């Protein structure tokens, strides 16, 4: 049993028990944990996983997209290189997305994170000029 939400997310396991699988299909959360019954409908990772994966993948692959055109070789070989590079980049992104989505989901549930809500107009007694409350 794993207690760390990051390790549980990488292994795509339930944030509560660490046993049940998070996904029923690729990037589609189950409604609840098959082992402990934890509700998975309460959290939403939104675009976070795609942003982090895209950022990481571009940091790793971008130098090759700049270097490849400058290398002396036949045009057909450069085109083949771009196809291979693009395939590797897309494959890497698709492989990393479930792990990143699992990590963000686990962190969200383990920290009881939720959307920010206004509870007051502030400490100074006057609401902001654009306050609609």
Quick: pLDDT tens for 69-124.
999 999 999 999 999 999 999 999 999 999 999 999 999 888 877 776 666 555 66
Residue 132 burial (CB count, 10 A):
6
What's the pLDDT at 122? 58
Virtual torsion, Cα 82, 85, 86, 91, nearest 10 deg: 160
How far is CA 63 from its chain centroid?
A: 23
- Closest CA relative to residue 131, chosen from 76, 89, 120: 120
**What are the residue ranges spanned by the domains of the chain?**
5-111
């Amino acid at each position: 049993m794993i207690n760390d939400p990051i390790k549980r997310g990488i292994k795509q396991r339930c944030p509560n028990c660490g046993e049940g699988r998070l996904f029923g299909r690729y990037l589609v959360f189950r409604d609840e944990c098959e082992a402990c019954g934890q509700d998975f409908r309460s959290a939403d990772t939104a675009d976070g996983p795609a942003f982090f994966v895209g950022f990481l993948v571009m940091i790793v692959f971008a130098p090759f997209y700049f270097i490849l055109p400058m290398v002396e070789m036949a045009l057909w070989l450069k085109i083949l290189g771009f196809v291979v590079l693009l395939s590797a980049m897309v494959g890497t992104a698709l492989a990393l997305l479930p792990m990143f989505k699992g990590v963000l989901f686990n962190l969200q549930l383990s920290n009881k994170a939720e959307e920010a809500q206004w509870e007051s107009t502030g400490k100074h007694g006057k609401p902001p000029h654009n306050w609609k409350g």
